[in-house]
Structure 1
């Protein structure tokens, strides 16, 4: 199968491209010119140059590539985020998820693409509910202000993908090389420096996804005729009050101190507090059944240890 990947240089893309090639797919990547092109060429994929926000350029690129499937991993997320400025720092990603997705789907429909897979999020679910969220759970109905445009872009991405009979893979908190949880990642460095407290008791439930497991889910989906949305997360949803101290211990850092939510809000804003206290974990049962997929890193505990023990760099 010829697979066109948009967003191949991201956290998932760097795992996905060699995996697609290794299982026999003919891989084409849409990329803007620059240093990333050199890195992408080393994967063995063919590169077509186009700005995903330029409709005509995308139409030409997809026509040139002639893919059977499009994998939309378009994001432009900064390597370090300020939760108080989330809306501003996600502006480019929001455009890619809306305008970029629209361009890709239009180009795919014109070229006769049979399958579209897009990257979504498994931690945008309504927090006020019991148990883990499955794919039928509604998205956050009254999110913090900074998350409003991010959620709106995600909803549009899902609507466009599913209208094209495509599949949205809702990934959890991504970790692995290139992520904020990598040994040189911004969050790991903050934990090592003792700058990440347990806000409000750390009551958010996190569902993590290793980048390799995200990539294997995409490969599995390409072999199926599945549409809609699926949660691609590990088997071990966990409260922040549990995983943050474990991460600090792996890094040889001091145990995180507690911080009242009201005081923390002054520093990290409403979204920052909600991120640490209100997120809901996700259920992966439907993805396992529909894709015949299993995460190699079934628990964040094993995944963090494999990624970080002996690798953490000095703060």
Structure 2
């Protein structure tokens, strides 16, 4: 196939370009400059210049492609994201979805896949949920739900197939958030945020290693199945368990626990909500629809890979009983 990837220079996009190229597809990756061209080409793709927020440039870049993938986001990585940063992410998700729908119609594509997030359907009481559960979006996830509706409507009106992959909480050696977590644990500055007045109530998170996300998208691109699927690993985990396991692998101090409300002035209420509200879901429907299973079935195998990669890349330097973080 000829596959177009919007977001090809991001953490997921880079893995996806490499995965699709390894499967012998011709991959076109959207790029906005020379550095983006290099990132796409190094992973076996053909870089084409354009902007997710510019409809014409997007259609020009996607010319000749039968499958289009919206993997572009602008999720803030600052310690306390501003409203402007969230607005930028909203535009990339929703306006980007509208532009990709228009591009799919312009180039007569057969298929459009959208990367969404499982916590658009997280339930207020924290109970397990699935693809049939009613959405419960908040400020940070509303645009993801908007994008889902845009691509579904676009597929119905434009005559192309649509697949929505709601992914779990991403982590990987290349992820800025994972690196912030690792360096923060080593410095003793990444606490466990708990719910409730005393911070003793743990949230359960559905996780997904980025490599597994890329394999999921490549598998879905090769199929003609349509629908919405949750793509996660096999084992939801509490934030406390995951952070403690991460610290143990790094030889870092055991992370301290603080109430989420106490951290709100430092990191913002949206980040606190993400880490203190449970989102337990399952990949069952995706497994049943596609020939896919996660290479990293739980946080344990995934964190092992993250730490090993950081060691090999020189980001972690052995010192004493653990490691020190080397800034790059």
TM-score of the aligned structures, taking structure 1 as reference length: 0.90
Counterpart CA distance in 1 for 2:210 and 2:240 is: 23
Deviations 1:123-148 (A, max 9, x none): 2323324642211122225x3xxxx1
2:134 corresponds in structure 1 to 138
Structure 2 residue 111 is matched with structure 1 residue 115: yes
Structure 2 residue 234 is matched with structure 1 residue 235: yes
2:13 corresponds in structure 1 to 13
Shift of 1:202: 5.5
2:71 corresponds in structure 1 to 73
SS of 1:166 mapped into structure 2: strand
Structure 2 residue 106 is matched with structure 1 residue 106: no
1:49 corresponds in structure 2 to 49
RMSD value over aligned CA atoms? 1.9
Structure 2 residue 186 is matched with structure 1 residue 188: no
Q: 1:1-315, aligned counterparts within 5 Å?
A: 1-62=1-62, 65-78=63-76, 80-83=77-80, 85=81, 87-129=83-125, 131-140=127-136, 143=138, 148=139, 150-163=140-153, 164=155, 165-180=161-176, 182=178, 185-199=179-193, 200-201=199-200, 203-309=202-308, 311=311, 313=316, 314-315=324-325
Higher relative contact order (CA 8 A, sep 6+): 1
Cα distance change of structure 1 residues 221 and 109 upon mapping to structure 2, 3 Å threshold: same
SS of 1:12 mapped into structure 2: helix
Gap runs ≥5 in structure 1: none
Shift of 1:94: 1.5
Cα distance change of structure 1 residues 156 and 264 upon mapping to structure 2, 3 Å threshold: same
2:158 corresponds in structure 1 to none
SS of 1:105 mapped into structure 2: helix
Counterpart CA distance in 2 for 1:33 and 1:8 is: 12
